[in-house]
């Protein structure tokens, strides 16, 4: 088992490195931007998966948390001279703290009720973002300038769009690796026990409150990093990006992509950002994607609980098995 695990990890590593170096070479400037935001929202979807796959909790406020991470990064960019990466991590940590505070209702609720509470939160942040906008170099705490925007600093190693895509891919891969390590170690086991039965988890000595808040913090951290990366990609943020309905859409797409594997989150990000752009490119209304997403969600719920990623991986596993048996 350990051998197959390390072989899989090796394949994953090769794919990631290849993607980081190859993708920017084959894409033109428009598609580099699209793929960058697809990867960023894939990272946010991976945060949704942590909560849903590990604890069975539905969080419909992920896009709002992405907005918080973006807000913090922009705020730090204009208020301080900190390097981009440090602001990015700070945004992730602050979002993680806010996310774990939002977890407090989740200690008592699950299912539909938790979904509703998180959706209300998303709605509240939508209003806050609309009212105060995102910092762009202005005065005061909210930092919104009416006329010209201030200077935005990208990371020194990633000034161009091409190198920034590489930066985004690297950061996203690191975050998803951190979540993967969680799955395989103490928190992953504790989450699995809690998902099964909280009484059973407590009887095993697990501090249920702590581990639930930890899951929300990790999920929020990933959203916060995604928000910071998005701010860096666009160099400014607009309140219209962070509407509550998009949180629902991203959650649905995380299910469609598959919550049990990082590949599913990547697929969710691609569906969320790449598909509408492709439709636009073909001259078809991007709203049509909603119809496809609806059908895909029904398909996932009815026949593919592990999502598209699950189907791809089991197909791949079948292929490997077939080859191995034909070798014998």
Q: Which is nearer to another protein, 107 or 149 (CB)?
A: 107
Which member of 23, 57, 206, 308 binds another protein (CB under 8 A)? 206
Helix (H) or strand (E) holding 32: helix 29-55
Q: Which is nearer to another protein, 52 or 84 (CB)?
A: 52
The DSSP code for 57 is -
Q: Which is nearer to another protein, 137 or 188 (CB)?
A: 188
- Residue 238 burial by Cβ neighbours in a 10 Å radius (0-12, 13-18, 19+): exposed
Residues 6 or more apart in contact with residue 300 via CB below 8 angstroms: 255, 256, 258, 307, 308
Say if CB 149 and CB 251 are below 8 A apart: no
Q: How far is the CB of 222 from another protein (least distance, A)?
A: 22
Does 281 interact with another protein (rule: CB under 8 A)?
no
Q: Which is nearer to another protein, 81 or 205 (CB)?
A: 205
Quote the CA–CA distance of 294 and 114 in Å, as a whole number.
22
Does 215 interact with another protein (rule: CB under 8 A)?
no
Q: Which is nearer to another protein, 72 or 194 (CB)?
A: 194
Q: How far is the CB of 198 from another protein (least distance, A)?
A: 9
Does 204 interact with another protein (rule: CB under 8 A)?
yes
Number of helices (H), then strands (E), belonging to the chain: the values are 14, 0
Q: Which is nearer to another protein, 53 or 72 (CB)?
A: 53
Q: Which residue has the tokens 């048996």?
A: 325
Site for another protein in 174-203 (CB under 8 A): 186, 189-190, 192-193, 195-197, 199-203
307: alpha, beta or left? (left if phi > 0; alpha if psi -120 to 50): left
301: three-class secondary structure by DSSP: helix
Site for another protein in 1-20 (CB under 8 A): 1
Tell me how many residues contact another protein (CB under 8 A).
Answer: 19
Residues that bind another protein (CB under 8 A): 1, 186, 189-190, 192-193, 195-197, 199-208
């Amino acid at each position: 088992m350990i051998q197959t695990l390390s072989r899989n990890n090796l394949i994953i590593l090769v794919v990631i490195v290849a993607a980081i170096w190859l993708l920017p070479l084959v894409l033109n400037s428009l598609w580099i931007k699209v793929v960058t935001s697809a990867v960023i929202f894939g990272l946010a979807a991976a945060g949704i998966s942590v909560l849903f796959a590990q604890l069975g909790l539905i969080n419909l406020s992920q896009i709002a948390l992405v907005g918080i991470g973006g807000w913090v990064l922009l705020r730090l960019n204009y208020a301080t001279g900190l390097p981009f990466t440090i602001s990015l991590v700070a945004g992730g940590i602050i979002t993680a703290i806010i996310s774990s505070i939002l977890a407090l209702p989740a200690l008592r609720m699950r299912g539909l009720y938790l979904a509703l509470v998180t959706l209300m939160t998303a709605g509240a942040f939508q209003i806050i973002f609309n009212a105060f906008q995102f910092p762009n170099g202005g005065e005061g705490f909210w930092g919104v300038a009416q006329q010209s925007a201030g200077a935005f600093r990208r990371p020194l190693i990633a000034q161009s769009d091409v190198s920034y895509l590489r930066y985004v891919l690297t950061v996203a891969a690191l975050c998803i690796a951190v979540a993967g390590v969680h799955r395989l170690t103490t928190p992953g086991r504790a989450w699995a026990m809690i998902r099964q039965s909280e009484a059973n988890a407590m009887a095993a000595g697990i501090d249920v409150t702590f581990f639930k808040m930890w899951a929300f913090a990790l999920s929020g951290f990933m959203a916060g990093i995604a928000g910071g990366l998005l701010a860096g990609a666009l160099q400014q943020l607009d309140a219209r990006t962070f509407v509550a309905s998009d949180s629902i859409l991203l959650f649905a797409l995380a299910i469609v992509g598959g919550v049990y594997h990082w590949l599913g989150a990547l697929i969710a990000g691609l569906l969320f950002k790449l598909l509408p752009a492709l439709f636009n490119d073909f001259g078809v209304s991007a709203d049509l994607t909603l119809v496809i997403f609806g059908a895909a969600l029904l398909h996932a719920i009815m026949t593919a609980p592990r999502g598209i990623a699950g189907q791809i991986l089991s197909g791949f596993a079948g292929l490997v098995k077939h080859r191995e048996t034909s070798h014998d």
